A = this chain, B = another copy of it.
Amino acid sequence: MVKREIFILKTGLTRCSRCGEDVEMAVYVDYMGRWLCKNCFIEFYEKKLRNTVLKYRMFSSRDLIGVAVSGGKDSMAMLTALSKVFPDLKIKAIHINLGIGDYSRDSENAVRRLCDQLGVELIIYDLKKHDGFSLPDLMKTAYRKRICGACGIIRRYLLNRIAWENGVRVVATGHTLDDTVELLFELYLNGRIEEIVRVKPVLEGGERLVKKVKPLIELTDQENKYYADFTETPYSEFECPLARGSRMLKRKELILRIEKEIPGFRHTFYKSHVKRFLPKLDGLIRRPELRACRNCGMPTIGDVCSYCKLVSKVLEVVKG
């Protein structure tokens, strides 16, 4: 495994603010302003993940669940933690290879390695092989201007279909607190209430629609990185070359700068959303009725689902 230099370390001995031991290596948890030793951090992280799963009734400890793994630190930390915290859970890891060069190759390798280590069943879906196009092909279409959005359509759709076809009815995704707050910031700023009410720890399923749960929704990117490194969880350190300089990444940076000014900003905003706004706004928004896509049969609001529309547009260009 690649040796990574990631910890914010104090020189000399540091006192762990949980167990009180003086240790050589400790990590700084920014929003708490506290230092934790390796063992205490691992316990702390697993307890938080466990509490999140139980609090929002994401699944029961013997359920069969799908775990979406991109190969990045967040979802890989989640897979390690879930299999450790809930040893009786039946897990199918699901990875979608998007065909983005070295980034996708490295991601798939990391996923294979981790699933091997953990003894977890792995389903790999190769976009190019199954659907005849890869993510970079979108750069030749009108989707190039909102490539991350288009990628989201693809991943959401495939994840749901692959899970459903494999008998999985609950899927865990690696959305972190940082991801959630970045999205909420955008949605609140623009008053997109219909979308605001969809940002939840749990989205219930339905016919051909799996339940989606977010065990990492109260954990930060930083915490996932620490956990992955401390548990020697393999993950890909490649950044998606298509997302480089995206608005999403810039917003995440902005939010970290706000957090510096307002300590606890992410947790406060998230809690206000879940505890104050959601209960008020939820009742106001009518859920759109879903029907079967004319083309693929999967749930959609319209006549043809966004994925089928996207595929037909992309294949038009790819096949030329």
Footprint of B on A, CB under 8 Å? 188-193, 250, 254, 257-258, 261-262, 265, 268-269, 271-273, 275-277, 280-281, 284
Contact = CB atoms under 8 A, between A and B. Distances in A.
Given A254-B261, A258-B258, A261-B250, A268 B190 contact: yes
A262 B265 CA distance: 18
B265 A258 contact: no
A113 B272 CA distance: 46
A256 to B, nearest CB: 12
B272 A190 contact: yes
A23 B250 CA distance: 37
A22 to B, nearest CB: 36
Contact of A189 (B192, B269, B275, B284): B269
Contacts of A261: 250, 254
A190 B264 CA distance: 11
A80 to B, nearest CB: 33
A188 B193 CA distance: 13
**Can you tell how many copies of this chain the complex includes?**
2
Nearest to A250: B261
Nearest to A275: B191
Contacts of A281: 280-281
29 contacts: A188-B188, A188-B272, A189-B262, A189-B265, A189-B268, A189-B269, A189-B272, A190-B268, A190-B272, A191-B271, A191-B272, A191-B273, A191-B275, A191-B276, A191-B277, A192-B276, A193-B276, A193-B277, A193-B280, A250-B261, A254-B258, A254-B261, A254-B262, A257-B257, A258-B258, A280-B281, A280-B284, A281-B281, A284-B284
A194 to B, nearest CB: 10
A107 to B, nearest CB: 30
A190 B250 CA distance: 24
A277 to B, nearest CB: 6
Q: Which of the listed residues A188, A191, A277 has the most CB atoms from chain B within 10 Å of its own CB?
A: A191
A277 B277 CA distance: 10
A269 B269 CA distance: 15
Contacts of A276: 191-193
